[in-house]
Chains A and B, each alone.
Chain A
Amino acid sequence: AQSVTQLDSQVPVFEEAPVELRCNYSSSVSVYLFWYVQYPNQGLQLLLKYLSGSTLVKGINGFEAEFNKSQTSFHLRKPSVHISDTAEYFCAVTPPQTGANNLFFGTGTRLTVIP
């Protein structure tokens, strides 16, 4: 079975400061990894994904994430945040062996950017 742990439920950060949102996963098989963002009163939008290849993945809006297989982590980073980055961020995994039909989400991290 797969599980995803987002270690911080809330992260406040000042505008233009760097941020890291942590994600660890547990799985007995290899997985694909995703970060989604949910802006207030909206659906989820894909930020980036890791399927294979380079462990450093770049996404939209200046975000990037690094897959670390030994630490089973997929932390999301941005070097300088903007007010518009205030949102909830979800890490998710899916096992490709099952056709990636089941997407398992973490509980989310609410990022608040302070002016």
Chain B
Amino acid sequence: EAQVTQNPRYLITVTGKKLTVTCSQNMNHEYMSWYRQDPGLGLRQIYYSMNVEVTDKGDVPEGYKVSRKEKRNFPLILESPSPNQTSLYFCASRPLTSGRAYEQYFGPGTRLTVT
């Protein structure tokens, strides 16, 4: 089954404790992206990647890091989480060159709480 998976789905942590949220897709998509969803703000893009070793900032990159060492994986790293990073996070992927090039496939989400 074609899908985007995220782990963990739920995470409660404390301020300053480094964490990583993993994202993996099995569709051989070149493009991957991370969003955060906050009430009243919709989804905002954090980072995106066009391919392996190619990443770029979205609208709200502060406090986040990403890496793209393999095509299928795009982990989101919070080096020193703060309470304002409490949010619902979504990973997404899409192909760049097929007829469905503009259709993003979303993961199920990771709910992060930073206390």
Contacts and interface: CB of A to CB of B under 8 A. Distances in A.
Interface in B1-15: 4
A102 B102 contact: no
A102 B59 contact: yes
Contacts of B33: 103
Contact of A94 (B56, B59, B102): B102
B87 interface: no
Contacts of A107: 40-42
Contact of B106 (A45, A101, A108): A45
Interface string A27-54: 0000010101000011111100101000
Nearest to A92: B43
- The B interface, classified by DSSP as helix, strand, loop or mixed, is strand
Interface string B17-34: 000000000000001010
Nearest to A6: B42
Contacts of A45: 106
| A94, A105, A106 — most chain B CB neighbours (10 Å) | A105
A51 B102 contact: yes
A46 B31 contact: no
Interface string B78-91: 00000000000010
A106 B42 contact: yes
A45 B4 CA distance: 12
Which residue of A42, A46, A49, A99 has the most chain B CB atoms within 10 A of its CB atom? A46
A83 interface: no
Interface of A: 4, 6, 9, 32, 34, 36, 41-46, 49, 51, 90, 92, 94, 99-108
Which 10 residue pairs are nearest across A and B when measured between Cβ atoms?
Answer: A43-B106, A105-B42, A105-B43, A107-B42, A44-B106, A43-B108, A46-B103, A43-B107, A100-B102, A108-B42
23 contacts: A6-B42, A34-B102, A41-B109, A43-B106, A43-B107, A43-B108, A44-B92, A45-B106, A90-B43, A92-B43, A101-B48, A101-B56, A102-B48, A102-B58, A102-B59, A103-B43, A103-B45, A104-B45, A105-B42, A105-B44, A106-B42, A107-B40, A107-B41
